[in-house]
Amino acid sequence: MDLDDAEVNLADLADGTLAGPEWEAWLAAHPAAAAEVEIARRVRRLLAQMSAADIPVPAGFEARLMARIREDRTLLDLLDLGVSGMGRALLGLLNLLLSLLPAPPEPAPSAA
C-alpha cells in the first residue's frame, strides 16, 4: 500500500474505504488532512440521520455544507448539536411551543 500524499483520497478516508492503523498514522502525520476528514465524517453522520428521518437533501448539499464549514469552523458545534440528537429535542420543543400559539384567523370567504 502506497501512502503517497498525491494519491490519498480524503473521501475514501472519511467514508472508511481506507482504514486501518497505517491510515490513522498517515492522518496523524497530516493534521490539515485529518481535520478535513473529521469534518467530512461529521457531515456524513448528519446526512445519514437526515436520510433516516426522510428529510430530502438537495443535490450538492454535502459539498456546500463542507465549504461553509471550512469558512466558519463554529458551524461544527451546530452540526454536532444536530447529530447528537439534541437537535431533535430542540425541534420538538419548538414545535410544542408553536403549537401553544393561537392559530391564525381563517380568511373570510370572498363573495363572488
Comparing 51 with 108, the larger pLDDT belongs to: 51
Contact 50, 57 (CB under 8 A): yes
pLDDT digits (tens, 9 = 90+) for 69-82: 888 777 777 766 66
Element (H, E) at 63: helix 61-71
For the cut 70, the answer to whether the pLDDT of residue 102 exceeds it is: no
pLDDT value for 28:
93
- pTM comes to 0.62
Tell me the backbone φ, ψ of residue 60, rounded to 5 degrees: 80, 5
Residue with cell 452540526: 79
pLDDT digits (tens, 9 = 90+) for 40-66: 888 888 888 778 777 777 888 888 888
> All 3 cell numbers of residue 22?
497505517
> All 3 cell numbers of residue 18?
481506507
Q: Tell me the domain boundaries of the chain.
A: 5-87
> All 3 cell numbers of residue 74?
463554529
